[in-house]
Amino acid sequence: MDNTEIITTKTGVRTIDMAYIALGAALIAVCSWISIPTAVPFTLQTFAVFALLSLLGGKRGTLAILVYILLGAVGAPVFAGFSGGVGVLLGTTGGYILGFIITGLIYWAVTSFTKHSLVIEIITLVVGLAACYAVGTFWFMEVYSKSNGSIGAMTALGWCVFPFIIPDLIKLALALGLARRVRPVIK
Domains present along the chain, CATH in parentheses: 3-186 (1.10.1760.20)
Three-state DSSP class for residue 27: helix
Give the C-alpha separation, 101 to 131, whole Å: 10
Q: Which residues of the chain have pLDDT under 50?
A: 1-5
Are the C-beta atoms of residues 141 and 161 closer than 8 Å to each other? no
Q: Would you list the DSSP string of 9-20?
A: -TTS-BHHHHHH
Question: CA separation (Å) from 43 to 15, 47, 48, 90, 184?
Answer: 30, 8, 10, 19, 27
pLDDT computed for residue 124 by the predictor: 97
Pinpoint the alpha helices (H) of the chain: 3-6, 15-33, 45-73, 86-90, 94-113, 118-148, 153-160, 162-186
Own/partner contacts of 77-84, CB < 8 Å, gap of 24 or more, are 78/25, 78/28, 78/29, 78/32, 79/32, 80/32, 80/33, 80/35, 80/43, 80/45, 81/33, 81/35, 82/33
Beta bridge partners of 8: 14
Are the C-beta atoms of residues 137 and 121 closer than 8 Å to each other? no
pLDDT computed for residue 11 by the predictor: 62
